[in-house]
Structure formats: C-alpha cells, structure tokens
Amino acid sequence: QLQLVESGGGLVQPGGSLRVSCVASGFALDHYDIGWFRQAPGKEREGVSCLSYRVTLTNNADSVKGRFAMSRDAAKNTVYLEMNNLKPEDTAVYYCAASWPPSPSMCTLTKGRYHFWGQGTQVTVSS
C-alpha cells in the first residue's frame, strides 16, 4: 500500500523557520518526483517545491524562491521542506505528493502530474 505521511507542521512567528517532513511507505520514494503543495482556506492547492528523481534538483515557486529548500534522505525514505523567513501568507496545509513517471528533466509544480498524496500538515505563521 502506497502512503505518504507529512509531519512537522505547527505555529511559527513571522520570520521564523520550520521543517516539514514526508515519509513514504510501500514504495521507494527516491524513484519518484516528489512535490510539496499547499492550500490555504478559500484558495486552490498550489505547487511550492519539487525534487526531481532524475536531476536531483529542486524546482521552486517564485513566491518561495530563496526561502524554501527541499531535500531527500533515501535511507529514511523521507523528503523534507525547509521553510525560512516565513510570512503570514505562507499559512496553509502543506501536502507532499509523488509522481510517476518522473519528468525527463525538471520536476513540475503542476498538481495534476502527481498521483499519490499525503493528508497534509498545518503550518500557521502568526504573531
């Protein structure tokens, strides 16, 4: 059974940092493109960052470039999203997702490309 489980969300003050994790079970995570998406109340789910299986590079949305960084630990079957200089507008439920087949080059932030999804972890940025 393929499953993704996010964790590490919580309340953080503006300007702070937080790392969220995504643990995969039932499949080898390092054979997939992995993406992080977020959804705020009243808004559609949007792509935040992804990590390419083939290229081993990340692709980030313009709104988070320079602030967010994604990484993978194959031994732990886990991917991470390091979020720095957090802003109130970053408040959302953060989801990880896996895509197969992976992109021939860079991973995509298009949500329709992803087939396996976690249930999300809440990140709230507030004073």
Contact yes or no for 34/20 (Cβ under 8 A): no
Mean pLDDT computed over 24-41: 91
pLDDT at 30: 79
pLDDT score of 103 more than 90: no
On average, the pLDDT of the chain sits at 93
Hey, what are 125's tokens?
């940025």
pLDDT score of 122 more than 80: yes
Hey, what are 22's tokens?
């995504």
pLDDT at 55: 64
Which residues neighbour 89 within 8 Å (Cβ) at sequence distance 6 or greater? Answer: 40, 63, 125
